[in-house]
């Protein structure tokens, strides 16, 4: 005959409540992080890389949702000068960005020379700009929808 099991220690209702709260917090945090990761994964990142010959190498990669949110939160006066400059061309810029969202992937502009190489392309809903001038290189890759958000911010007052 087997021995009778030792009775499990009983948890008080207060402990159970705390456990439930902790569990909820953990599940909530994990879900939030997972949801954020999914959003970042789907929206992509804004990547900027700068290589200077014999100099610095700067590499920035920021979730585009963060950039879009930041652009929306920045007060309009910060963009005032740029908005003034773009002024009369803003409708055309905005239309160009909207068309770019709809436009198919491909290389739109390329310049090749003995010391210079420029490439502007749309690939996987991202605008990619690569410039190589001598030993210096710049690479920018940004979701086209983020470009549209930035252009919207430059709307004339």
Q: 19 or 107, CB closer to other proteins? A: 107
Q: Are 25 and 17 in contact (CB under 8 A)?
A: no
Nearest distance from residue 134's CB to other proteins, in Å? 13
How far, CA to CA in Å, does 142 sit from each of 8, 78, 124, 128? 58, 21, 10, 7
Q: 82 or 105, CB closer to other proteins? A: 105
How far, CA to CA in Å, does 6 sit from each of 1, 2, 15? 15, 12, 21
Nearest distance from residue 113's CB to other proteins, in Å? 4
Nearest distance from residue 37's CB to other proteins, in Å? 34
- Which residues of this chain interact with other proteins, rule CB under 8 A? 88-89, 91-92, 94-96, 98-100, 103-104, 106-114, 116
Nearest distance from residue 128's CB to other proteins, in Å? 14
Q: 72 or 98, CB closer to other proteins? A: 98
Give CA–CA dist 58/136, Å, rounded.
12
Q: How many residues does the chain have?
A: 157
């Amino acid at each position: 005959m087997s021995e009778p099991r030792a009775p499990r220690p009983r948890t008080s209702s207060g402990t159970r409540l705390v456990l439930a709260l902790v569990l909820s917090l953990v599940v909530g945090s994990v879900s939030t992080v997972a949801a954020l990761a999914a959003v970042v994964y789907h929206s992509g990142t804004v990547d900027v890389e700068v290589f200077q010959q014999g100099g610095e190498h700067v590499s920035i990669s920021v979730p585009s949702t963060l950039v879009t949110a930041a652009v929306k939160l920045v007060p309009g006066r910060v963009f005032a000068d740029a908005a003034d400059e773009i002024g009369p061309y803003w409708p055309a810029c905005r239309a160009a960005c909207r068309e770019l969202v709809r436009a198919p992937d491909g290389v739109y502009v390329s310049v090749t020379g003995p010391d210079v190489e420029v490439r502007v392309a749309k690939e996987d809903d991202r605008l990619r700009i690569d410039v190589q001038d001598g030993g210096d290189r710049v690479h920018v890759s940004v979701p086209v929808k983020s470009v549209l958000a930035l252009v919207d911010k430059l709307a004339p007052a």
